[in-house]
């Protein structure tokens, strides 16, 4: 009989051995070792106790907004039409980018549950705090209703850490909690809504009047750095920070372009503010009439992109990359108290613009034939109104880069995750890939 009550693991093994005989125990042990190994063997490098915490917006939200009074919800058909692994709430047809990433990291079961419905036993393995419509600034996304801004996502994480510390696995040992969190991946993807549902929504927000794109990016990055420091203080050490994608090229913005196939005329926008990228097709990259000095952005979608938006994003992404470099450097030189910040932490930057361009440039190889329209939506580019309840989506989701006016399809998410996890191109994932980050 198995010892009951206060039996230690060792005494259970002795009891088991007595019952089963030592040879059988050895087999059991070997089988257990194989289960442990199988999570890592495919990638060659061990990923110590895979666990992942996720912060972000609708690109990675997996149902945290389901019970909120919000327009930013995706718990209705046809959202999730290709998702059969749990409750609805993802802003795409199937898996999100982080769903693929947690799978690649070896989490079993592969998906990280949403904070809104998590059980205490879920806490050590990982939680998803992401919330559609959210941004770095607290007011971002208020035009859409309820959501958790980044600072509230971090507050929710703090509560979860406290709960986790009180479970039997940790018994209030904060050292043990911190050690555990230090081994986990912290994915943070923020900022898209600070542009889409704030800066470039002048009817609701006055930020564009108050800040130049450069000052606005600085404001966002300051708020971002503060929240990353909060996560660090709670024990996070392995960060994956995603840049903002080319939102000037998403179907929503393409649908709002002033002219269908012609660059904007300077009449409505000052010359120095506007620039238009001309994609020559077939992945030749873009030729830009940019007068802003920003890198010409290849039309990821095979048409014109809104370069006013893309150049604002480029400033933000450049600042974010610089921030990541600065935080990583703090490990090497410990001069000055400011340099002590985030000591021992590692940051990986995902260049979502670069990855998106690469996917568009190699669209055919990935099986994509439609790059500028949502699979589900209404109006120009299927981007004027986003995918409506019970609307019929396109038949072959695997041929579309975009699921709706804003969000990639599962097929595109799978590629973005594979790049983050295993790309050896530092233009896409810097300075190391997520697979390497997990292994350090």
Catalytic residue list? 58, 404, 407
Write b or e for each residue in 126-140: b if 16 or more Cβ atoms lie within 10 A of its Cβ, otherwise e: bbbbbbbbbbbbeeb
**The one segment of 18-26, 79-87, 164-172, 402-410 that binds ligand NAG by CB under 6 A:** 164-172
**The one segment of 46-54, 106-114, 167-175, 319-327 that binds ligand NAG by CB under 6 A:** 167-175
Q: Is 162 in the site for ligand NAG (CB under 6 A)?
A: yes
> Token digits for 175?
């050292």
Q: Is 433 in the site for ligand NAG (CB under 6 A)?
A: yes
Among 61, 99, 264, 404, binds ligand NAG (CB under 6 A): 264
Nearer CB in complex with ligand NAG: 120/138:
120
Q: Is 306 in the site for ligand NAG (CB under 6 A)?
A: yes
Q: How far apart are the C-alpha atoms of 136 and 55, rounded to whole Å? A: 11
- DSSP H helices, 362-409, are 363-366
> Token digits for 305?
């992109």
Among 24, 176, 325, 392, binds ligand NAG (CB under 6 A): 176
CB of 100 to ligand NAG, least distance (A): 13
Please report, as residue ranges, which positions from 397 to 416 form the binding site for ligand NAG (by CB under 6 A): none
Binding mask 119-158 for ligand NAG (x = CB under 6 A): ----------------------------------------
Mode of pairing for the β-strands spanning 185-189 and 370-374: unpaired
Q: Is 168 in the site for ligand NAG (CB under 6 A)?
A: no
Among 72, 190, 309, 350, binds ligand NAG (CB under 6 A): 309
Please report, as residue ranges, which positions from 190 to 219 form the binding site for ligand NAG (by CB under 6 A): 200
Q: Do residues 434 and 224 make contact, with C-beta atoms less than 8 angstroms apart?
A: no
Please report, as residue ranges, which positions from 14 to 53 form the binding site for ligand NAG (by CB under 6 A): 43
Q: What Cα–Cα distance (Å) separates residue 42 from each residue in 103, 105, 112, 138, 419?
A: 12, 10, 21, 41, 16
At residue 370, what are phi and psi to the nearest 5 degrees?
Answer: -120, 115
| The dihedral sign for the CA sequence 131, 133, 135, 141 | negative
Q: Is 424 in the site for ligand NAG (CB under 6 A)?
A: yes
Q: Is 172 in the site for ligand NAG (CB under 6 A)?
A: yes
Among 7, 11, 166, 289, binds ligand NAG (CB under 6 A): 166
Give the three-class secondary structure for 159: helix
CB of 175 to ligand NAG, least distance (A): 4
Q: Which positions ≥6 away from 120 have C-beta within 8 Å?
A: 163, 164, 167
Q: Is 440 in the site for ligand NAG (CB under 6 A)?
A: no
Task: Enter the DSSP assignment of 294.
Answer: P
Burial of 155 (0-12, 13-18, 19+ CB in 10 A): middle
Q: How far apart are the C-alpha atoms of 298 and 278, rounded to whole Å? A: 7
**The one segment of 149-157, 306-314, 388-396, 408-416 that binds ligand NAG by CB under 6 A:** 306-314
Q: What is the largest CA-CA distance in the chain?
A: 87
Q: Is 173 in the site for ligand NAG (CB under 6 A)?
A: yes
Q: Is 422 in the site for ligand NAG (CB under 6 A)?
A: yes
**The one segment of 48-56, 188-196, 212-220, 257-265 that binds ligand NAG by CB under 6 A:** 257-265
Q: Is 310 in the site for ligand NAG (CB under 6 A)?
A: no
Nearer CB in complex with ligand NAG: 82/155:
155
Q: How far apart are the C-alpha atoms of 325 and 348, rounded to whole Å? A: 9
Residue with tokens 């904060």: 174
**The one segment of 63-71, 166-174, 391-399, 404-412 that binds ligand NAG by CB under 6 A:** 166-174
Q: Which positions ≥6 away from 196 have C-beta within 8 Å?
A: 247, 252, 406
Q: What Cα–Cα distance (Å) separates residue 74 from each residue in 63, 114, 133, 314?
A: 8, 14, 11, 29
Q: Which residues form the interface with ligand NAG (CB under 6 A)? A: 43, 162-163, 165-166, 172-173, 175-176, 179, 200, 257-258, 264, 269, 306, 308-309, 422, 424, 433, 435-436
């Amino acid at each position: 009989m198995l010892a009951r009550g206060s039996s230690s693991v060792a005494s259970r093994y002795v009891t088991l051995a007595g019952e089963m005989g030592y040879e059988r125990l050895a087999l059991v042990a070997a089988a257990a070792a194989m289960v442990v190994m199988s999570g890592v063997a495919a990638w060659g490098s061990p990923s110590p106790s895979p666990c992942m915490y996720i912060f972000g917006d609708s690109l990675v939200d997996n149902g945290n907004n389901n019970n909120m009074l919000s327009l930013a919800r995706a718990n209705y058909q046809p959202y999730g039409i290709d998702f059969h692994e749990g409750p609805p709430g993802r802003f795409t047809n199937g898996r999100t980018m982080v769903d693929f990433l947690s799978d690649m990291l070896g989490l079993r079961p592969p998906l990280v549950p949403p904070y809104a419905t998590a059980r205490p036993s879920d806490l050590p393995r990982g939680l998803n705090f992401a919330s559609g419509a959210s941004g770095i600034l607290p007011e971002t996304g208020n035009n859409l209703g309820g959501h958790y801004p980044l600072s509230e996502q971090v507050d929710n994480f703090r509560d979860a850490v406290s709960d986790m510390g009180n479970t039997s696995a940790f018994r209030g040992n904060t050292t043990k909690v911190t050690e555990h969190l230090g081994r986990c991946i912290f994915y943070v993807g923020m900022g898209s809504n600070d542009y889409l549902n704030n800066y470039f929504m002048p009817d609701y927000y006055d930020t564009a009047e108050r800040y130049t794109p450069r000052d606005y990016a600085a404001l966002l990055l300051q708020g971002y750095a503060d929240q990353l420091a909060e996560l660090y203080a709670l024990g996070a050490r392995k960060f994956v920070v995603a840049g903002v994608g080319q939102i000037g090229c998403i179907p929503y913005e393409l649908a709002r372009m002033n002219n269908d196939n012609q660059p904007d005329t300077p009449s409505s926008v000052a010359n120095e503010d506007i620039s238009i990228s001309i994609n020559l097709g077939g992945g030749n990259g873009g030729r830009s009439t940019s007068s802003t000095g920003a890198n010409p952005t290849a039309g990821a979608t095979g048409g014109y992109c809104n370069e006013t938006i893309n150049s604002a994003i480029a400033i933000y992404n450049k600042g974010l990359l610089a921030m990541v470099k600065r935080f990583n450097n703090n490990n090497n030189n410990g001069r000055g108290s400011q340099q002590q910040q985030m000591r021992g932490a590692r940051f990986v930057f995902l260049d979502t613009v670069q990855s998106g361009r690469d996917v568009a440039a190699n669209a055919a190889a990935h099986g994509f034939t439609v790059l500028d329209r949502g699979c589900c939506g209404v109006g120009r580019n299927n981007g004027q109104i986003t995918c409506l309840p019970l609307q019929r989506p396109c038949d072959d989701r695997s041929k579309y880069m975009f699921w709706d006016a804003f969000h990639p399809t599962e097929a595109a998410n799978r590629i973005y995750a594979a790049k983050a996890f295993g790309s050896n191109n530092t233009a896409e994932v810097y300075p190391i890939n997520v697979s390497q980050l997990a292994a350090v």
